[in-house]
Structure 1
Amino acid sequence: MTQRTLLVTSSILGENGQSNALANHFKAKVKARDIALTHRDVVANTLPHLAIEELGAWQTPAEERSAEQQALAAHSDELLAELRAHEVLVLAVPLYNLGIPSQLKAWFDRVLRAGETFRYTENGPQGLIEGKRAIILAARGGQYAGTDLDSQTPHLKAMLGLMGISDVEIVFAEGLNMGDNHRDAALKEAFQAIDQLVATL
């Protein structure tokens, strides 16, 4: 049985973005296998930075929300429903200043909600999203994986883990700005890794 897959892209470079190249390869392979795919581009559909008014809307019982609060809460409610409706989450992520794009952080800020995707217990936070799998397609201009400069990977794993998603696989395409030969070899290797992952969906 194939798994419904949610692809979230976050490159500000559009079709020139290398993470989008990884995402497009993934989409083509998924389409060939007729797997149900939902694509959310958090740059084309940018979310505002999280503000106290929106946080307050979440914390207000639904039946007591004002019209403005209902509209604010709808951002997160829509994203949560979308996440829950898919078995596999794929994040195509560029590396910006050693971190994730702010647009992707805005997405995480709305799906990481206490009482919805995790809860606090006496033993620490407990994830409430169970049985899901995550795939990270990571594109980097330099080579950072496994070094102290790669703060992005543990950040992503920690946010996914907070929700309860611990089955995380990563495809790295690194050194993409280190010359054409290096870029081509890295992308070829990443595409092959994507092919293998799609075969398991």
Structure 2
Amino acid sequence: MTTLLHIDASARFGRSDEISHGSHTRRLTAHFVQQWTAMRPETKVIYRDVGQEPPPYITGQWIHAAFTPENKREAWMRDVLRVSDTLVDEILQADLIVAGVPMYNFGPPAQFKAYIDNIVRVGRTFGFDRSREGEPYWPLLSDSGKRLVILSSRGDYGYQPGGRIGTQNHVEASVRTAFAYIGVTDVYEAAIEYDEFADHRLVDSIQQAEAAVKSLVSQLV
């Protein structure tokens, strides 16, 4: 049975196909999950809304706790890491991760960056040994077969690689980098553009993105 981790990171509540000024990324992730589960109804879906319920930001205490060996952690350390442990457990369970990550000022929302900071965990999703010959860091999920789908949206257009402002897009690249660091390198993408134009170009972009989502489901299922 496949386990699908569905993540939404938009600060907007609701979907753009259901309410005015709703989220395009919530729309895309919902379409993906609906189409996937229609084809694979036995799929276990885990839902995480970091847009509306963001994880805590990393603190000095969090870093202290995370880099303390498990058998030496004090009670307060376990408390500090409790949310992070839950988020990591969800990643470990998942075969497929579907993340709705809109562009906010050229990068992911702060809520999603907080999520990334909580799941990139020494000893759980990446290894570190300063005495190790060669590279002291290594991913722990490389052999897990996990796949990641990044569904994004942006107000302007031309953010694709080679596009008119493609070099200003730090969404997909940063998400890819973080997940590759822990060993998830099988990544797929689709995005809606022209949101701030709100004309036929947005309508066309939504149609193209939804078609891309449908194609991805067929490809990955």
With the length of structure 1 as denominator, give the TM-score of the two structures: 0.92
Q: Give percent identity, aligned residues only.
A: 26
The corresponding residue for 2:7 is 8
Q: Shift in Å at residue 48 of structure 1?
A: 1.6
Q: 2:67, 2:137 → 1: CA distance?
A: 18
Which piece of structure 1 moves more, 80-89 or 39-48?
39-48
What's 2:146 paired with? 132
Q: Distance in 2 between matches of 1:45 and 1:63?
A: 30
Choose from 47, 61, 65 the match for 1:53. 61
Aligned position for 1:150: 169
Match of 2:135 in 1: 123
Q: Is the CA contact 1:30–1:37 (under 8 Å) kept in the aligned structure 2? A: no
RMSD over aligned Cα, in angstroms?
1.6
Superposition deviation, residue 82 in structure 1 = 0.8
Q: Is the contact between residue 50 and residue 111 of structure 2 (CA under 8 Å) also seen in structure 1? A: yes
Gaps of 5+ in 2: 15-21
Partners of 1:4 and 1:103 lie apart in 2 by 23
Which residue in 1 is equivalent to 2:182? Answer: 163
Cα separation, 2, equivalents of 1:69 and 1:123 = 28
Contact kept in structure 1, 2:150 and 2:188, CA below 8 Å: yes
The farther-off stretch of 108-117 and 118-127 is 118-127
- SS where residue 170 of structure 1 aligns? strand
How many residues are aligned here?
A: 200
Counterpart of 1:8 in 2: which secondary structure? strand
CA drift of 1:124 comes to: 5.6
Of 174, 187, 194, 2:193 maps to 174
Q: Which residues in structure 2 correspond to 1:78-117 (within 5 Å)?
A: 78-117=86-125
CA contact (8 A) 2:154 2:192 kept: yes
What corresponds to 2:35 in structure 1? 29
CA apart distance, 1:119: 2.3
* TM-score (norm. length: structure 2): 0.84
Structure 2 distance, partners of 1:46, 1:155, is 18
- SS of equivalent to 2:81: helix
Rounded to whole Å, the distance in 1 between the matches of 2:107 and 2:119 is 19
